């Protein structure tokens, strides 16, 4: 299967989405009408002593990152990585439905009833929230992420200066990777903010949903949301190339056609920023290559070797020196050696060059964890738990493994 066939399949999928969204309109509208009527009636009869706005107020008051609603459990919030109950009242299925329906507009409620899940960008009391409502065991649940309205800087996020270097490129592909909840979207927002403050560019973002709202400053920013402004990442990306962009942010590269067009856009003079759910740079490159095969993989290998500018892989860890969390960050900057390793199908050898690449601004996750531990910012258990090579890290901590970063070398954490 060649790239033209992949593109045709993606276009067919987009057309199918159009057909799905327009099918059974009358029956879905009737379901929405009944759901709204039921929700209003339940809210009027509700014994609940709190509403959705009250729970959001708890999020803000305690600077929690997430709120979870699930039947059979009290509402729960996540503070510095740990979950806590909000009161003792266990939510019933009806109460969950009532709380979730209360913040859905007609379009969102229609998508939830039809698709069994929906992403919602929600504003309340001057704050913004990203909400995913979904069904589990045939009852409604929701996960709510609080989004800071003030867009953070790299310094606010304790990110290393290499992040600013990566957004200084005129064109190329920059990836931010890490597990869910590691702050990838926030890092991307800080990157857009850095460009917006310092460069006169046209920035187009394609997000699901829009999280941070960017006001155009030195740059012109157009933000598009999946489902509202465009049907898919693929469609939004494809048509963005006709909108005179300098910088394109893709919330997530989910499928082969999107990955391929993103790499092509990087090659044709655009700076492309995106995320992947991989724990490190090596796995990010392998993940991209593994979705292709044969000649397609060879072409993608060439595109990556020529256009990848760098990978930031991060994890948020609880601090012990003060309240809050701190990122452990692996950084891979593209060098001629790493480019050659990609072309020569030796991607797994890249790790050792990241380890030895301090002069090029690189560091492994273990090196970052080691320095955070040596500076008394995180404890030993957290460091080892979050390492992808804990045995190596334990040897480093015990002083039995050579490292080019000594305990007195503050370069790794000088920005914190």
SS3 state at 9 = helix
pLDDT-based confidence at 385, cuts 50/70/90?
Answer: very high
Mean pLDDT confidence for 349-367? 96
The confidence score (pLDDT) of residue 298 equals: 95
| Residue 184 CA to its chain's centroid (Å) | 4
As a whole number of angstroms, the distance between CA 290 and CA 253 comes to 13
The confidence score (pLDDT) of residue 149 equals: 77
Q: Is 308 within 8 Å of 173 (Cβ atoms)?
A: yes
Instruction: Provide the angle, in degrees to the nearest 10, between the axes of the packed helices 233-240 and 3-22.
Output: 120
What letter does residue 291 receive in the DSSP assignment?
Answer: T
**Positions of E strands within 260-361:** 271-276, 308-318, 325-333
Mean pLDDT confidence for 149-167? 91
Q: Which helix (H) or strand (E) element contains residue 236?
A: helix 233-240
pLDDT, one tens digit per residue, over 210-236 is: 888 999 999 999 999 988 899 899 999
As a whole number of angstroms, the distance between CA 326 and CA 328 comes to 7
List domains and CATH numbers for the chain: 25-147 (3.30.450.90), 162-412 (3.40.50.300)
The confidence score (pLDDT) of residue 26 equals: 47
The confidence score (pLDDT) of residue 125 equals: 73
As a whole number of angstroms, the distance between CA 396 and CA 392 comes to 6
62 vs 34, residue with greater confidence: 62
Query: Is the model's pLDDT at 416 over the cut of 70?
Result: no
- b/e burial code for range 198-222 (CB count within 10 A of at least 16 → b): ebebbbbbbbbbbbbebeeeebebe
Cβ atoms within 10 Å of 83's Cβ, excluding its own: 11
Q: Which of 374, 328, 370, 383 is nearest to 157 (CA)?
A: 328
Q: Which of 47-51, 119-123, 292-296 has the highest mean pLDDT?
A: 292-296
């Amino acid at each position: 299967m060649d790239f033209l066939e992949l593109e045709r399949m993606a276009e067919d999928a987009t057309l199918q989405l159009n057909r799905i969204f327009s099918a059974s309109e009358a029956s879905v509208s009737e379901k929405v009408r009944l759901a709204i009527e039921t929700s209003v009636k339940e809210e009027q009869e509700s014994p609940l002593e709190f509403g959705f706005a009250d729970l959001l107020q708890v999020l803000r008051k305690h600077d929690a990152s997430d709120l979870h609603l699930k039947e059979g459990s009290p509402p729960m919030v996540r503070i510095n990585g740990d979950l806590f109950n909000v009161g003792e009242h266990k939510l019933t299925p009806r109460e969950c439905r009532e709380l979730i329906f209360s913040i859905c507009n007609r379009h969102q409620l229609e998508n939830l009833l039809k698709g069994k899940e929906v992403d919602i960008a929600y504003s309340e009391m001057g704050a913004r929230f990203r909400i995913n409502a979904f069904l589990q065991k045939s009852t409604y649940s929701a996960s709510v992420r609080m989004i800071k309205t003030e867009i953070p800087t790299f310094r606010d996020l304790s990110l290393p200066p290499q992040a600013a270097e990566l957004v200084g490129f005129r064109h190329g592909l920059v990836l931010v990777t890490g597990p869910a909840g590691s702050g990838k979207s926030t890092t991307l927002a800080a990157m857009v903010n850095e460009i917006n403050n310092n460069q006169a560019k046209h920035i187009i973002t394609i997000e699901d949903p829009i999280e941070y709202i960017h006001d155009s400053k030195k740059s012109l920013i157009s933000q598009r949301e999946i489902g509202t402004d465009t049907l898919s990442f693929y469609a939004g990306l494809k048509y963005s190339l006709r909108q005179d962009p300098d910088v394109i942010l893709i919330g997530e590269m989910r499928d082969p056609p999107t990955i391929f067009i993103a790499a092509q856009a990087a090659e044709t003079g655009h700076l492309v920023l995106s995320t992947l759910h991989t724990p490190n740079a090596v796995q990010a490159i392998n993940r991209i290559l593994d979705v292709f095969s044969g000649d397609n993989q060879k072409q993608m290998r060439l595109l990556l070797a020529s256009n990848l500018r760098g990978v930031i892989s991060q994890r948020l860890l609880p601090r012990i020196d003060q309240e809050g969390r701190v990122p452990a960050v692996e950084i891979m900057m593209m060098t001629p050696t790493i480019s050659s390793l990609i072309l020569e199908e030796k991607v797994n050898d890249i790790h050792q060059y990241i380890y030895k690449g301090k002069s090029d601004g690189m560091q492994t996750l273990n090196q970052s964890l080691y320095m955070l531990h040596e500076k008394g910012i995180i404890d030993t258990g957290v460091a080892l738990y979050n390492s992808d090579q804990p045995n190596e890290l334990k040897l480093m901590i015990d002083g039995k493994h050579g490292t080019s970063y000594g305990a007195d070398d503050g370069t790794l954490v000088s920005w914190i």
